[in-house]
Amino acid sequence: MAEVSVWSQVVGQPDAVAVLTTAASAARGLVEGTGGAGMTHAWLFTGPPGSGRSTAARAFAAALQCTTPGEPGCGECQGCHTALSGTHADVRLVVPEGLSISVAEMRALVQTSARRPTGGRWQVVIIADADRLTEGAANALLKAVEEPPERTVFLLCAPSDHPDDVSVTIRSRCRAIGLRTPSAAAIAEVLRLRDGVDAETAEWAASVSGGHVGRARRLATDDAARARRAKVLRIPLNLRRLSDVFDAADDLVKAAETDAVEVSGTRDEAEKEALKTALGHGGTGKGAATATRGSAGAIKELEKRQKSRATRTQRDALDLALVDLAGFYRDVLVTHAGAAVDLNHPDQAEGAAQAARSWTPESTLRRLEAVLACREALEQNVKPRIAVEAMITALHFG
């Protein structure tokens, strides 16, 4: 298939692409009245972080909107372009800005999805983090999935189909697409061909990304991301004194806060200014003063959503650092065992070997468990600084 197709975005998933291509062809048959066997109204994309769940869902949405004759998903027609860029009128992408997707948000989405597609093909709803649905939101979605409109397709993305991630009732009404961790070679190839990264940098980024395509791209193209990773991976061997614990914890938390500010800062101001303009701030006409006074509640609600988004961004950044730390301790255990397997951080092999000479396997395992416990604590809403300081203290004492 040509590299320009929408499926070229889906890295290292040939089996999934084959199923989705067949379904998109069946969907075209339904639209054109020539068939349709193999298409269903609800899909569940599961797979480990970085496997490209939402990317695969967006590619499928684009194929459903493709208007070029032949195999759907050409990547060149207006339907493909607008679906992939997020501007197609009949494709809605839901990405929770806070820690969960509320029932009010889901009810509004379900109501919108019941409309007929403006382009005459499909109304597509992509829920990027279906595992963040509250119980009420899941129930609202379930009603739509049980009795879907004729031309509406729901694409749900979640880490797994475990009941903790997706309720059994919703899962049972979806067709499952399981994605796997793409190989380093596949990731390196897409970095070279799609992002124009030189071969050496692409291979390095792919080898240290843990199979996460988005992480590999960021490491290959962002100097700050590379510097933050390097700083995190220096922590295990730099905890010589108790004071180092608090310095390391401070660095980790501040780096996550900086990430949150970089991601949200400019966007927050733009959203606030746009809302103020819509509510009449700065106006001089009749009634402008009254409209301005009545806008305080809307602005406060926006600030609440922005704060929730910043909290989520900070925790995601922290979790990424913890995954890197866990990978380092896993590499130390692999080095201890002399196992012939790839390291998570091959560029840190010398540091892992040094740690393996200094620590026992038991103390290394305790350190790894401390990192995993910190990740779990953050999921339970423990304050990041407290969770991180407790973890790094455990790393220091082993």
Sheet containing strand 175-178, edge to edge, reads 91-94, 123-127, 152-158, 42-46, 175-178
In the prediction, which pLDDT does 47 show?
92
**By three-state DSSP, how is residue 300 classified?**
helix
Q: Are residues 142 and 253 in the same domain?
A: no
Domain region containing 17:
6-178
Q: Are residues 246 and 138 in the same domain?
A: no
Average model confidence (pLDDT) across the chain: 87
Q: Are residues 82 and 200 in the same domain?
A: no
181 within 8 A of 211, measured Cβ to Cβ: yes
Domain assignment present for 293: no
Q: Which of 123, 128, 71, 65 is nearest to 101 (CA)?
A: 128
In the prediction, which pLDDT does 320 show?
87
Amino acid at 274: A
Task: Output the domain CATH number for residue 51.
Answer: 3.40.50.300
Q: Are residues 187 and 134 in the same domain?
A: no
Distance CA(350)–CA(239), nearest Å, equals 17
Provide long-range contacts, Cβ within 8 A and 24+ apart, for 97-100. Answer: 97/305, 97/306, 97/308, 97/309, 97/312, 98/305, 98/308, 98/309, 98/311, 98/312, 99/132, 99/308, 99/311, 99/312, 100/132, 100/133, 100/134, 100/137
Q: Are residues 42 and 80 in the same domain?
A: yes
Please report how the helices 242-278 and 384-397 are oriented relative to each other, as an axis angle in degrees rounded to 10.
160
- More confident call, 346 vs 70: 346
- With pLDDT > 70 as the criterion, what percentage of the chain qualifies? 90
What does the pLDDT average to over 210-219?
89
Distance CA(123)–CA(33), nearest Å, equals 17
Q: Are residues 57 and 155 in the same domain?
A: yes
Question: DSSP assignment, residue 132?
Answer: G
What does the pLDDT average to over 372-394?
93
pTM to 2 decimal places = 0.76
pLDDT-based confidence at 300, cuts 50/70/90? confident
Q: Are residues 166 and 187 in the same domain?
A: no
Domain assignment present for 309: yes
Domain assignment present for 294: no
